[in-house]
Structures are given as C-alpha cells and as structure tokens.
C-alpha cells in the first residue's frame, strides 16, 4: 500500500479500482510522513473522504464497515497526534502475541499474564506507605495506577466479598 502497491497493481486492477487504490495509498503516504502530514493533511482528508464515498459504488454496501468509515477521521488524528508512524499502535499489537503466549488456560487470563510477567522481572522495591487494597465488592473494585490508568478487579465467584489482595 505504501511502497510497491502502486507499481505491482498497475495493469492488474481495472483502471477505476486502481485509481481508487491510488487515492488511498497517496493519502496514507502523506499521513505517514511527518513533514507532509503537517502541510498536506487536508488533501489527505479529501482523498480519504473520496475513497470512502466511492467504496460503495465499487465494492457494494457490505464493504462499508466501521473500519472503512474510520479512515475519514485519520487525517484529523494525524494533525492532533502527529504522523501515523509517530502514533502507531503496531508495537502494542505486536506485543499482544507475546502476552497471549503467557496465558495457559481460559480462566483468569489477566491474572496469568500478571504472574508470568512477575516471574520474568525481578520485583521492584515496595513502598509500604502507599499500600492499596483491592476489593471484589462492586462499589470498590476499580483503582487508578500511578500513571492514571484505570483498572478494574474482575469478580471472582469463588472468593468471598472481602479484600482480595493487599500490596
């Protein structure tokens, strides 16, 4: 899509479909580049808007799914957060495969991942002044970590409603 698609698909796709692909490819090439995304984001937005509008005519209603519609917002995201390469989710998605390997059964996958990660890294020093208790009570099962990420303790039917873990 970014590099060889323009060359490889020329002459293979029908002209109308090839031009449709070119609009998509050029828009993404603009949004991947830090300099071009800053100066040509509006043009990329127009290309992606045309691309999404034309999808129905070329591929039918079933092609218009949420992911295709999301392309219309891509240029605005690049303006807000920087070029696509600087705000990509690929490193996180690639790490998911490693995390999946840490799960050995379908029961309590989050707990399994936490235990396996804990086994891999040496424990950090614990600050006893900032202890936290997590309860399985419905009103008290959410906590915020130091970097402001909200976490929710999943309910475990085998435990009583008392405190689950104290750190």
Residue by residue, pLDDT tens for the chain (167 residues) are 888 999 999 999 999 999 999 999 999 999 999 999 999 999 999 999 999 999 988 998 888 888 888 999 999 999 998 898 887 777 777 778 888 888 988 888 888 888 888 888 665 655 555 555 555 555 555 555 555 555 555 555 544 444 444 44
CA distance 137 to 153: 9
87 Cβ contact list (under 8 Å, min separation 6): 77, 78, 81
CA distance 68 to 147: 33
pLDDT of residue 124: 61
Of 52, 72, 87, the one marking the end of a domain is: 87
Is the same domain home to 69 and 98?
Answer: no
At what angle are helices 34-59 and 74-81 packed, to 10 degrees?
A: 170
pLDDT of residue 145: 58
pLDDT of residue 128: 52
Is the same domain home to 145 and 108?
Answer: yes
- Count of domains for the chain: 2
pLDDT of residue 130: 55
Domain limits for position 68: 5-87
Is the same domain home to 19 and 82?
Answer: yes
Of 55, 72, 87, the one marking the end of a domain is: 87
Residue reference for tokens 């006893």: 128
Is the same domain home to 111 and 79?
Answer: no
Is the same domain home to 65 and 131?
Answer: no
Give the E-state strand segments of the chain in sequence order. Answer: 133-135, 142-144, 150-152, 163-166
Of 87, 107, 124, the one marking the end of a domain is: 87
* 158 within domain boundaries: no
pLDDT of residue 56: 87
Would you state the structure tokens that stand for residue 150, as one six-digit string? 């909200």
């Amino acid at each position: 899509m970014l590099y060889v698609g323009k060359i490889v698909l020329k002459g293979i796709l029908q002209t109308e479909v090839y031009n449709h692909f070119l609009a998509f490819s050029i828009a993404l090439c603009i949004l991947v580049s830090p300099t071009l995304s800053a100066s040509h984001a509006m043009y990329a937005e127009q290309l992606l808007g045309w691309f999404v509008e034309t999808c129905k005519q070329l591929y039918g209603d079933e092609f218009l799914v949420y992911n295709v519609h999301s392309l219309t917002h891509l240029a605005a995201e690049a303006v807000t957060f920087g070029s696509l390469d600087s705000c990509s989710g690929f490193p996180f998605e690639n790490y998911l495969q490693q995390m999946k390997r840490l799960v050995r059964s379908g029961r309590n996958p989050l707990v399994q991942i936490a235990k396996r990660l804990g086994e891999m890294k040496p424990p950090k020093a614990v600050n006893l002044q900032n202890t936290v208790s997590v309860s399985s009570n419905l009103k008290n099962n959410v906590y915020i970590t130091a970097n402001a990420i909200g976490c929710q303790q999943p309910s475990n039917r085998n435990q009583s409603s008392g405190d689950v873990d104290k750190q």
